[in-house]
Amino acid sequence: QKEVEQDPGPLSVPEGAIVSLNCTYSNSAFQYFMWYRQYSRKGPELLMYTYSSGNKEDGRFTAQVDKSSKYISLFIRDSQPSDSATYLCAMDSGFQKLVFGTGTRLLVSP
């Protein structure tokens, strides 16, 4: 079993839709939870991070962490074609050793 599971997609939505991206994990030692966006042939860009359980909002993005269920989510409101990318979840137990999901490819059509 992988430490971090993420549906690879692709997830196709129309412009303006609310997007929900999710990851599950098995290692209860993870304390830091991050979402990265990666465009084709580029390095990942940090979007959101959350420490422990809870919600965090930044503009159109909301990150949620439920440690009791070992489940994290990223919501994107009013999705735009420019949001089309691969979204990677990543987790860290505090030693800067990030464990990534495989990434979910998101396609937002105009």
Partner 1 sequence: GAVVSQHPSRVICKSGTSVKIECRSLDFQATTMFWYRQFPKQSLMLMATSNEGSKATYEQGVEKDKFLINHASLTLSTLTVTSAHPEDSSFYICSASSAGETYEQYFGPGTRLTVT
Tell me which of 44, 74, 79, 84 binds partner 1, using CB under 8 A: 44
Q: Is 7 in the site for partner 1 (CB under 8 A)?
A: no
Distance (Å, rounded) from C-alpha 106 to C-alpha 109? Answer: 10
| Least distance between partner 1 and beta carbon 14 (Å) | 25
Tell me which of 11, 70, 102, 107 binds partner 1, using CB under 8 A: 102
| Least distance between partner 1 and beta carbon 49 (Å) | 5
Cβ atoms 20, 73 nearer than 8 A: yes
